Chain A
Amino acid sequence: MSHLALMTVYALLVGAFFALLWRRGRKEQLRLFLQIFGGMMIGAILLGWLMYFFPTGPAAPIP
């Protein structure tokens, strides 16, 4: 699986978990799930783009 796919699966699982744990009622659960899922995905992609501006170090040695 790609990094993005794994990140998406992880965000799905965490979002579903906390929505079930912290909210009662389908609407509230769905809203929290979308907030957590969206926050993790958008946040990670934004951080990834911000890191683009940092200088890269030397290439990692191939084991």
Chain B
Amino acid sequence: MTEAAKSSFPLRALLLCIAAWLLPTSGHLFLGKRFRALGFAVVLLAAFAIGLELEGNLYRPVPGQPLSYLATLGAMGVGAPYLVARYATGYEGRPEAPGFEYGTVFLLSAGLMNLLLVLDVWDIANGRRDEE
């Protein structure tokens, strides 16, 4: 870790993480990792789009079902796409759709993958990760 990274309050890293959560891969883009940002964007958006196409479940909290809260947190990890799909378009998924279960896995995976990217942005911004 560099001296500058050790001594300063990680406000920049925090802002980058918020950006990375809200707009998937934007954290890597701001950090100058353009190639990786592009690769992550393709993977995340493809997973999310396939999940929507298969009409999978975009998790939301269900009273009396504690696991639904965890699943919602995971699905919300994808940031803006979740918010747009849920609140702007009113997307819910269709349980009787043939690809419902698969679609749910794709949507949840997209959220969890973006949460890993947020952690990666935090590590890179704080100099905790070896970069080429």
B90 at the interface (CB under 8 A from A): no
Contact at B99–A6, with CB atoms within 8 Å? yes
Query: Which chain B residues lie closer than 8 Å to A20 at the CB level?
Result: 36, 39-40, 43
A63–B98 CA distance with the chains assembled, in angstroms: 12
Contact at B40–A6, with CB atoms within 8 Å? no
Contact at A13–B99, with CB atoms within 8 Å? no
Chain A 8-63 residues near chain B, CB threshold 8 A: 9-10, 13-14, 16-17, 20-21, 24-25, 63
Q: How far is the CB of A33 from chain B (nearest CB, A)?
A: 11
A1–B97 CA distance with the chains assembled, in angstroms: 13
Contact at A17–B40, with CB atoms within 8 Å? yes
Given A17-B113, A20-B36, also A6-B120 (CB < 8 A): no
B69 at the interface (CB under 8 A from A): no
Looking at B70-78, B80-88, B101-109, the stretch in contact with chain A turns out to be B101-109
Contact at B130–A24, with CB atoms within 8 Å? yes
Contact at A21–B116, with CB atoms within 8 Å? yes
List the interface of chain B (C-beta within 8 A of A). 36, 39-40, 42-44, 46-47, 50, 54, 96, 99, 102, 105-106, 109, 113, 116-117, 120, 130-132
Would you list 18 pairs from A and B whose C-beta atoms are within 8 A, ordered by A residue? A6-B54, A6-B99, A6-B102, A9-B50, A10-B102, A10-B106, A13-B43, A13-B109, A14-B109, A16-B39, A16-B42, A17-B43, A17-B44, A20-B43, A21-B117, A21-B120, A24-B130, A24-B132
Other A-B pairs, 4, CB within 8 Å; known A6-B102, A14-B109: A17-B44, A17-B113, A20-B39, A24-B131
